[in-house]
Amino acid sequence: MYSESDIDAAVAAGVLPAEMAAQFRAFVATQKTAPAVDEEYVRLLTGFNDIFVSIAITLVLGAIAFSAGAAPVKAGLVALCSWGLAEFFTRRRRMALPSILLLLSYAGGVAGLLLWGTGKMSGVPGLRTAQDNPALALCLAAAAGLMALAMWLHWRRFRVPITIAAGAALVALILIAVLLAALPALRAHWPWLLFAAGCAIFALGLRWDMTDLARKTGRSDVAFWLHLLAAPMLVHPLFYLLGLLHGGAQGQGRAALAILIYLALGLIALLVDRRALLVSALGYVLFALSSVLKASGVIGPDLAYTALVAGAALLLLSAFWHKARQFVLLAAPAGLRRHLPPA
């Protein structure tokens, strides 16, 4: 049995021409009940050996982190060992799950090392007591640049699809911290900063998507992880600003508005053919739907009934996803359709 990563490795090694690989994928797609472009395939496992190796990597890196001395030594060793293990399991073996795990541990190690250095240089140990500190803001900005460089070097070496999303997340969070440290007045408006970062990452995901509308290459995987990252950064600030979880006299009205927002997110998800927005907002909508149905007297307070309603709706949407996309794309302007995956 051959996996998608095996085909990509064969193309990269020159064993299989890219055109032939594309024709093979198209042939396999015609044998399935749904087009490949709508399946949102993501390379997570190439076999059970991925799980076996991932467990071993976790044990090794965990032992290194616990046995090392000071925090910067731990972070540096984890990052260094993650890179070294990736030379074999990612660059040579092309194993999916271990590659993701090693990328995340590398990113965490580099981030820990940079944050430690930022605390030392700015004189704010642990960064927990930071107030209006220009030195801290400057150090965080430098850390964001170094973090971006570290992730770019990893991407150039290993080409793990989640690398772009991991780097974008760390850089976004550090830049938000820069703004909050430099301008304390912005702290009350952190949801808008997070929402703006989510919009930027969502736009980056769309840019990667537009380079592979048929979703037959690794660029589609990069876009998937970017959308998966952008979804909570967009959804959480929206529902936080809505005040859905704060209760109050307007609770049912806010819950109904939350459901309308979810429907709008569903429309966007259909247009771009990405389900991450729907999954990310699901927890909020379960609460909102429960509030609306209980207020109308349709169901009792048991959340199980709410989950049943929401789950059934998602199952119906999944079953008719392709037809729903066709309908939505027909209603979209022709200029927009050219930049979206075909139905």
Domains of the chain by residue range = 1-33
45-75 pLDDT tens trace:
777 889 999 999 999 999 988 887 788 889 9
Token pair listed for 72: 């910067």
pTM of the model: 0.79
The rounded percent of the chain whose pLDDT value lies above 70 is: 80
Spatial contact of 165 and 221, defined as CB atoms under 8 Å apart: no
Check residue 123 and give its pLDDT.
Answer: 65
Check residue 130 and give its pLDDT.
Answer: 47
- Cα–Cα distances in angstroms (integers) from residue 171 to residues 64, 75, 164, 238, in the given order: 26, 18, 11, 22
Nearest partner of 105 among 136, 135, 79, judged by Cα: 79
Check residue 252 and give its pLDDT.
Answer: 61
Check residue 248 and give its pLDDT.
Answer: 45
The DSSP result for 183-209, as a single string, is: -GGGGGGHHHHHHHHHHHHHHHHHHHH
Check residue 61 and give its pLDDT.
Answer: 93
Instruction: Give the integer Cα–Cα distance in Å for 230 and 182.
Output: 25
Spans in the chain with pLDDT lower than 50: 33-35, 129-130, 248-250
Check residue 249 and give its pLDDT.
Answer: 42
